[in-house]
Amino acid sequence: MSNYLSMDRAAREREFTAVRSEYETLRAAGARLDMSRGKPGFDQMDLSHAIFDTVTNATGYVNRTGTDCRNYGGLDGLVELKELFSEILGVAPEQIIVGGNSSLNMMFDTVAQAMTHGFGGAPWMRQGTVKFLCPAPGYDRHFAICEYFGIEMIPVANTPDGPDMDRVEALVRDPSVKGMWCVPKYSNPQGITYSDETVRRIAALRPAADDFRVFWDNAYAIHDLYDTGDTLLNVYDACVQAGNPDLVIQFLSTSKITFPGAGVAAEAGSPANVALLKRRMSFQTIGPDKLNQLRHARLFHSPDDLKAHMKQHAAILRPKFEAVLRAFDEQLAGTGVAEWTTPRGGYFISLDVLPGCAKRVASLCEEAGLILTTAGATYPYGIDPADRNLRIAPSYPTVTELEQAARLLCVAVRYAALEKLLA
């Protein structure tokens, strides 16, 4: 494609006429497409259908250690799942709490606990302004938790290796900075994995606040698209080596392994952190849904079972990612008005358009029947200062729908860019 930035005005006008007519044709086709949320497709959920036969009257309800999963008890979850998650999280099973159906819920509760009861110190809410470092673009629901609790968000740019660590190291010298969100593997939305160096620098942080915690949301820990996935350094080991065992609290869930909203979530940390979390939980609940935990334990007996299952997810997701990336290569490469990530796992592609155009691209798409994640949602307070980032979620539509959607998106990106360049 010709570079829009180096075209003269007459060439841009000719190109705009052609792009506008293509857009009008697509709009008239009246599509109904949605690339807004990272939901698994129905065929991905079908992969876990055997789970419904794992806990029946015939199989019984008792786990390996003799717990009747129909009854109350077992605050921190079944040992089978602690063992299963132990390899992924890189900590001992005793350092894992297996909870309910949502890791986001566990993150929310952990922040709430710190606000009202502190995390080894005075309640955060009694210590004046509370600030969080928010690598951006990032996950909108992390930012929503901060907004809910009135936590001031400080955006930190993401590099291909993870958050800009020079800035993070400088910012944690402020004692009101109490936390930091991290999606360390196949991040939402860029699909980047933190380098070893970034993980080590995070683990070695010396924040002014003793009760500072890193919220390590490893939502896409095993969600590779290719046989060789990205590798992430064991953050807990790095923390221990740096003399900082309490710094990081990890989260994961099976939302995108079995069923979103009906999976199992877990939280992990140092023995001291786990003790604090369990104390709060002992007031909050008599125990999690162990029947659902048992179903998961019986579906996945070992990390190898999980790996085999994730390969089946990858086989469904890979062509979807590739359809979108192929469209970007064919229809945007060389225009100079778009850049995108090429993740090797996770659920998202991040698309940066010409600054000042993301909102316009989203509205052009919407008018033509394609819903995208709200422009700006990937930044704290919903404000993308450059108005350029769009999160693309290719998991839910079919490949054919994605081809249609990606074509429309590319036309909208070019339309908005030319409109701006000609203004």
Ligand X SMILES: Cc1ncc(COP(=O)(O)O)c(C=O)c1O
Q: Examine residue 175 and say whether the peptide bond preceding it is cis (omega within 30 degrees of 0).
A: no
255 binds ligand X (CB under 6 A): yes
- Write the DSSP symbol of residue 328: H
Q: Pick one of 183, 233, 337, 372: the residue that binds ligand X (CB under 6 A).
A: 183
Q: Pick one of 84, 156, 172, 219: the residue that binds ligand X (CB under 6 A).
A: 219
Nearest distance from C-beta of residue 181 to ligand X, angstroms = 9
Nearest distance from C-beta of residue 6 to ligand X, angstroms = 38
Nearest CB to ligand X, comparing residues 233 and 264: 264
Compute CA 124 distance to the chain's CA centroid, rounded to the nearest angstrom.
25
- Give me the residue label for tokens 């229809």: 331
- Give me the residue label for tokens 């009854």: 71
- Write the DSSP symbol of residue 122: S
99 binds ligand X (CB under 6 A): no
Nearest CB to ligand X, comparing residues 338 and 375: 375
Nearest distance from C-beta of residue 206 to ligand X, angstroms = 27
* Contact criterion met (CB below 8 Å) for 33 and 370: yes
Q: Pick one of 102, 110, 350, 389: the residue that binds ligand X (CB under 6 A).
A: 102
Please state, in angstroms and as integers, the Cα–Cα distance from residue 274 to each residue in 91, 104, 223, 267, following that order: 12, 17, 26, 9
Nearest CB to ligand X, comparing residues 108 and 149: 108
373 binds ligand X (CB under 6 A): no
Q: Which of these ranges, 1-9, 99-107, 270-278, 412-420, lies near ligand X under the rule CB under 6 A?
A: 99-107
Q: Pick one of 179, 245, 260, 287: the residue that binds ligand X (CB under 6 A).
A: 260
Helix crossing, 103-117 with 271-284: angle to 10°? 90
Q: Which of these ranges, 50-58, 98-106, 198-206, 394-402, lies near ligand X under the rule CB under 6 A?
A: 98-106
Nearest distance from C-beta of residue 261 to ligand X, angstroms = 7
Q: Cβ of 423: how many Cβ atoms within 10 Å?
A: 6
Tokens of 111: 């922040």
217 binds ligand X (CB under 6 A): yes
* Contact criterion met (CB below 8 Å) for 202 and 182: yes
Distance CA 400, CA 417 (A): 26
Helical residues (DSSP H) of 348-395, grouped into ranges: 358-367
Q: Pick one of 19, 38, 246, 380: the residue that binds ligand X (CB under 6 A).
A: 38
97 binds ligand X (CB under 6 A): no
Size of the site for ligand X (CB under 6 A): 13
According to CB under 6 A, which residues from 113 to 142 bind ligand X?
139
Q: Which of these ranges, 226-234, 239-247, 253-261, 407-415, lies near ligand X under the rule CB under 6 A?
A: 253-261
CA angle 125, 129, 135 (to 5 degrees): 105
Nearest CB to ligand X, comparing residues 67 and 102: 102
Is the Cα torsion angle 144, 221, 301, 270 positive or negative in sign? negative
145 binds ligand X (CB under 6 A): no
103 binds ligand X (CB under 6 A): yes
Nearest CB to ligand X, comparing residues 125 and 262: 262
Strand partners, 216: 182, 250
Nearest distance from C-beta of residue 219 to ligand X, angstroms = 4
Tokens of 292: 């659902």
Nearest CB to ligand X, comparing residues 103 and 404: 103
Give residues with Cβ within 8 angstroms of 359, minimum separation 6. Answer: 375, 376, 387
Q: Pick one of 104, 111, 202, 205: the residue that binds ligand X (CB under 6 A).
A: 104
Distance CA 420, CA 20 (A): 13
Can you tell me whether residue 101 is helix, strand or coil?
Answer: coil
Interacting residue ranges for ligand X, rule: CB under 6 A:
38, 102-104, 139, 183, 188, 217, 219, 253, 255, 260, 265
